[in-house]
Structure formats: structure tokens, C-alpha cells
Amino acid sequence: MKRFPRRRRITVWLPFALLALAVLVAPIPRLVPPQEREITISLTQFEFSPARLRVNQGDRVTLTLAASDVVHGFYLEGYGIEERIEPGVTKRIEFVAERRGKFRYRCSVNCGALHPFMVGELIVGPNIPFWRAMGLTLLALAGLLVYLQRTGAGYEEVVNESFEIEEAA
């Protein structure tokens, strides 16, 4: 296997190291600009409809809550929002989805025997860490290909060299 002088190795790997650093620390612009979201949630005994809400970070969300059978509550974890919803009365809740992640919402008023199972989920995206990990993975793969191409080492050479080292030991 060919060996390169130290200075040449540094000039080969320095661009990859700088790109990796840029992928990790560079701010990623918003993928979707903030929007106004109006969502109607129907509360009936033991379920929210819809049970899963998806919004983007920065969106201004307006929830319209309506109960049709008994008194329900609405508590959104992570945002500290809590409201009591009477049957036949519509409540509007407005907030900005500024925190990324998954947040559960649940009924905060005992509405019957299956009350503990009355839950839903608010998902605030996008998933930026995934894209950063993908960028680093692709960068590492490109660096490996450049290394193999510059050294001229093929798979067989690497495998044979590892067997020679084991036999010598």
C-alpha cells in the first residue's frame, strides 16, 4: 500500500474536516416558512379527533375545541396550555409552536372510566438532527472513497493485508 507524506495527507483530509464542521455548526434555514394553522379538534368520550397533529416550528396554531357529550379538559404538555371545555361550547386556543418535538395532549377532566386513555400527540417538525446526521454520513462516505482512490487500495488488498498482520502475530 502506498504511503503519502504527512503534508499531502493533511491537504486531502482538511477539506473534509472543514465540511464536517460546517455541517454540524452552520444554521440550517427553515425548510418551510411559518404559517397560520387552524385545526378543529372534536372531544368525545375517550378520544380526540384528530388524535395526531403535525405543524412546523414557528407556525401560529389556532385550535378550535368542541365537546359534544360531557365536560372535557385539554392539557398540552410542554406548552402549559390547559382549558376546560363544556358540551356545546367551542373554545379557541392560540399559540406559536416554537419548540420542536412530540408533545402529548390529554383530557384534564375526569370524563369517565376510560379517561386515562384520552390522549393525542402534537408533532412539531422539521427533524433537523436527522439531516445533519445524513450530511455527516455522506461526507464520511465521500472521504472514504477519496482515500481509497488516492491510495489505490482495493478491497482485496485491504483484506490480504489484514490477514498478513494476523499471521505475523
- Ranges of each domain in the chain: 36-128
| Whole-number pLDDT of residue 168 | 58
Q: What is the pLDDT along the chain (169 residues), one digit of tens a residue?
A: 455 556 666 666 777 777 777 776 666 665 557 889 999 999 998 999 999 999 988 899 999 999 999 999 999 999 999 999 999 999 999 999 999 899 999 999 998 898 889 999 999 987 566 667 777 787 777 877 777 777 765 556 655 665 565 565 5
Reduced to 3 states, what is the DSSP secondary structure of residue 152?
coil
- The angle formed by the CA atoms of residues 127, 133 and 134, to the nearest 5 degrees, is 95
CA 99 to the chain's CA centroid: 11
**Would you state the pLDDT for residue 158?**
55
Q: How many helices (H) and strands (E) does the chain have?
A: 3, 9
Residue 150, Cα to own-chain centre: how many angstroms?
37
Question: Can you state the angle between helices 6-25 and 128-151, rounded to 10 degrees?
Answer: 170
Residue 122 CB coordination number (10 Å): 22
Buried b (16+ CB within 10 A) or exposed e, 103-116: bebbbbbebeeebe
Give the predicted TM-score (pTM) of the model: 0.59
Report the distance separating Cα 83 and Cα 43, nearest Å. 12
* Cell (9 digits) for 115: 379517561
36-128 domain in CATH 3.20.20.70?
no
